[in-house]
Amino acid sequence: MRTIRLGKTGIEVPQNAFGALPIQRVSVDEAVSLLRRAYDGGMRFFDTARAYTDSEIKVGKAFAGMRDKVFISSKTQATTRAKFEEDLDTTLKNLQTDYVDIYQLHCAAKCYTEEDEIYQALADAKKQGKVRHIGITAHKIGVAEDIVESGLYETLQFPFCYLATDRDIALVRSCAEHDMGFIAMKGLSGGLLTNSVACMAFMSQYDALPIWGVQRQSELDEWLSFFDKEVAMTDEIADFIAKDREELLGEFCRGCGYCMPCTVEIQINQCARMSQMIRRSPSENFLSEFWQQEMFKIDSCVGCGICKTRCPYELDIPTLLAKNLEDYKNILSGSVKI
């Protein structure tokens, strides 16, 4: 297993880390068990956030009494000093610690600089020792590029997987040139990518630390298996990735959920990518009465456009929903085979 150095932070960990967003969906006991098994299996970096409901609490309980053996990153969506300080205090309490290894501004809409109140609060927290390293996450490539060029942050977290564009890859290389740690989120593109070997082989080519979202033991077992068998890019894997890219590249929903809630209760983060999910998972899972009812809610879309303003990828969500519904109806009628 390759070791990744997160730039000027000096943090060195295996290139195989734990994304703790999904554990908010399981019980405390299940989450603690997953986290501890991840540690026992070789993972040392664990990423969570204030926005992930009780995820921080579960991470804190899992690693109580062994804080110095793991690296923990968390995030705040605060844009004011008061909210930042409130979030950080809550994070420290939840994690049962007096410091966070990396504290990140979450889903930044721009590159915050020394002139911004929120950056000043982050820098002050580092001086106080509550935060050891400062980072930022972004979804928009232009914002991410500005962040790297600013030289103000020690790490950048950005979506990165084998669907990456040339510009995305250039961003990762630019981070390395600036001695900035790169944390790769959405390594499975919101669940659309299902070949863990291909995902791992792709990531192994870059100075990137992937945080795989884990909710089940079976998922964790796949990632932990790479500690025992080194994965490298091969012609066969490259061919598989090329075919997958041909099928998936273009305008598609990553399922991040930032568009939610919908004013007419459409499950946008699932319905807007149904065409891909139904073809890449057992189709009967998405042909149930439940999912038919959810998909038909799209007919109730009022076109308010609120979801478009929230989408970090600037997708035309109402149009995407309509396309997915048309395809879904064709599948149900049998005019389209899957």
Question: Among 186, 210, 243, where does a domain finish?
Answer: 243
- Give the number of domains in the chain: 2
Residue 192 falls inside a structural domain:
yes
Residues 34-60: what's their mean pLDDT? 97
CA distance to 20, 127, 141, 196, 214, per residue, from 90 (Å): 17, 19, 30, 34, 23
Contacts of 158 (CB under 8 A, 6+ apart): 137, 138, 139, 141, 144, 168, 171, 182, 183, 184, 185
Q: What is the pLDDT of residue 26?
A: 95
Q: Do both 140 and 18 map to the same domain?
A: yes
CATH number at residue 151: 3.20.20.100
Decide: 13 and 44 in contact? Cβ < 8 Å: yes
Q: What is the pLDDT of residues 143-182, one digit of tens each?
A: 999 999 999 999 999 999 999 999 999 999 999 999 999 9
Residue 214 falls inside a structural domain:
yes
Q: Do both 217 and 288 map to the same domain?
A: no
Contacts of 317 (CB under 8 A, 6+ apart): 253, 259, 268, 272, 307, 308, 311
Q: What is the pLDDT of residues 212-251, one digit of tens each?
A: 999 999 999 999 999 999 899 999 999 999 999 988 877 7
Residue 252 falls inside a structural domain:
no
Give me the amino acid identity at 46. F
SS3 209: strand
Question: Among 228, 243, 258, where does a domain finish?
Answer: 243
**pLDDT averaged over every residue in the chain:** 94
Q: Do both 322 and 273 map to the same domain?
A: yes
Q: What is the pLDDT of residues 267-302, one digit of tens each?
A: 999 999 999 888 877 778 899 999 999 999 999 999
Q: Do both 88 and 159 map to the same domain?
A: yes
Of 144, 105, 110, 102, nearest in space to 8 by CA = 102
Q: What is the pLDDT of residue 125?
A: 98
Instruction: Tell me the pTM.
Output: 0.88
Question: What are 19's two structure tokens?
Answer: 């994304």
Residue with tokens 């996450």: 137
> What is the domain extent for residue 277?
268-333
Contacts of 74 (CB under 8 A, 6+ apart): 47, 48, 49, 50, 56, 91, 95, 100, 102, 103, 104
Residue 69: phi and psi, rounded to 5, are -95, -5
Q: Do both 326 and 219 map to the same domain?
A: no
- Judged by average pLDDT, the poorest of 3-7, 11-15, 87-91, 268-272 is 268-272
Residue 259 falls inside a structural domain:
no
Residue 254 falls inside a structural domain:
no
Residue 74 falls inside a structural domain:
yes
Residue 258 falls inside a structural domain:
no
Residue 250 falls inside a structural domain:
no
Q: What is the pLDDT of residues 14-30, one digit of tens each?
A: 999 999 999 999 999 99
What is the rounded CA–CA span in Å between residue 55 and residue 32? 10
